Amino acid sequence: MARVVLAMSGGVDSSVAAHLLIEQGHEVIGVFMRHGEEAVEACAIEGQPASSPLLPIVNQRADHKQGCCSASDAEDGRRVAERLGIPFYALNLQAEFRGIIDYFVEEYSVGRTPNPCVMCNNRIKFGKLFDYANSVGAEFLATGHYAQLALGDDGPKLTRGVDASKDQSYVLFGIRREYLQRMLLPVGGYQKPAIREIAGSLGLNVAEKKDSQEICFVTSGKHDEFVRSRRGADSEPTAGDIVTTEGKVVGTHPGIEGFTVGQRRGLGVAMGEPYFVVQIRAPEKQVVIGPVEALGRRELSAADTNWLVEPPAGSFSCLAQIRYNSSAWPATAKVLDGDRLEVTFDDPQKGVAPGQAVVCYDGDRVMGGGWIE
């Protein structure tokens, strides 16, 4: 029997993951990562100081909503853990998560499109949470991600989940390769309806709980307002002009943080045909729009690469994915000196956005990727 630390968000996926791990004979420790904008107060248990990073979830206020890291989510996780008979703790990672929020605000402020979920996986779920697993003598760290692990000729490999509509392998490209041998992804081999069915058969209160669709710290769902509020009233305004690819000014916008490459809705201008954001010129505070054909890009460059295989030498063929909810398309990639990558698609791709990740696949296997420049 191996000791496993499981990241429990209070959702159906991590809840069923706990059950599957128990069925496999593991000793499971459920951990809720407290990393919303505000820490929810918890009472210290007897013999532990109030500042202890390891506290049971108690006296939660069910009306204190913080996206996927809410008090109600913590209570859902606690109830599941209680029903399954496993310990459940809250780990206060608020200070570490503040860096994710700062990254989010900074990227949007300079006209890039951040991916806080990837950063959270890299720095927190498969970073700080591994530190905690080590501190309690756990051999493995598990999550409810829809991805799979298998043993390849060159060691553990990360592959897509069985449910293509829920696959989350893209957001795991940035984890450290050596961690693969200590990771468990119990739900990756299931379709989502089957996971809900298992939860229902166990009588878990989260069986029909909706999936979180929002960024956990942007509880309003309006990321531009969040960015402006975090920047503060004294920061330099980012409002400016909306211009066409020919340079014609056709409107104004309240801030570049409200736009991303590929966006169609919410432009605030009528052009007589569908127009899309094709570029954000941060120094000029301009949002450039154009018809759909102007979105196509065959090439991109990326930096800060991370590889879950031996970094390929020279050029190699792959399937490249440029967004979490997009498909992967045939491409030729080339590893450059240092930690850079160039990708050339066989056919132009729409919505190549600086700040997002490009992830290279060999079939269903994650090879690695980098951050689009």
Mean pLDDT for 238-242 is 96
pTM: 0.88
pLDDT value of residue 48: 34
Taking alpha carbons only, the member of 46, 49, 17 closest to residue 195 is 17
Distance (Å, whole) CA 360 – CA 169: 11
pLDDT band (50, 70, 90) for residue 140? very high
pLDDT value of residue 81: 95
Indicate whether 313 pLDDT > 60.
yes
User: For 244-270, how does the pLDDT look when each residue is reduced to its tens digit (9 = 90+)?
Assistant: 999 999 999 999 999 999 999 989 898
The residue from 69, 120, 318, 360 that is catalytic is 120
Q: 340: burial class by Cβ within 10 Å (0-12, 13-18, 19+)?
A: middle
pLDDT band (50, 70, 90) for residue 62? very low
pLDDT value of residue 70: 65
Alpha helices by DSSP H, the chain: 12-23, 71-84, 94-109, 116-120, 129-135, 192-201, 223-231
Indicate whether 54 pLDDT > 50.
no
pLDDT band (50, 70, 90) for residue 240? very high
Question: Which one is predicted more confidently, 57 or 130?
Answer: 130
Indicate whether 64 pLDDT > 70.
no
Are 125 and 97 in contact by the 8 Å Cβ rule? The answer is no
User: For 360-369, how does the pLDDT look when each residue is reduced to its tens digit (9 = 90+)?
Assistant: 999 999 999 9
Percent of the chain with pLDDT over 70: 90
User: For 150-179, how does the pLDDT look when each residue is reduced to its tens digit (9 = 90+)?
Assistant: 998 888 999 999 999 999 999 999 999 999
Distance (Å, whole) CA 188 – CA 168: 9
Indicate whether 60 pLDDT > 50.
no
The residue from 68, 117, 216, 318 that is catalytic is 216
pLDDT band (50, 70, 90) for residue 338? confident
Active site residue 120: yes
Structure-token pair, residue 142: 């598990």
Structure-token pair, residue 155: 């060691």
pLDDT band (50, 70, 90) for residue 235? confident
Question: Which one is predicted more confidently, 309 or 42?
Answer: 309
β-bridge partners, 4:
28, 140
* Least confident among 96-100, 103-107, 200-204: 96-100
Q: 34: burial class by Cβ within 10 Å (0-12, 13-18, 19+)?
A: buried
Q: 342: burial class by Cβ within 10 Å (0-12, 13-18, 19+)?
A: middle
Mean pLDDT for 177-204 is 96
Indicate whether 57 pLDDT > 60.
no
Domains of the chain: 3-145+185-201 (3.40.50.620), 236-290 (2.30.30.280), 296-372 (2.40.30.10)
Active site residue 43: no
Indicate whether 63 pLDDT > 50.
no
pLDDT value of residue 213: 65
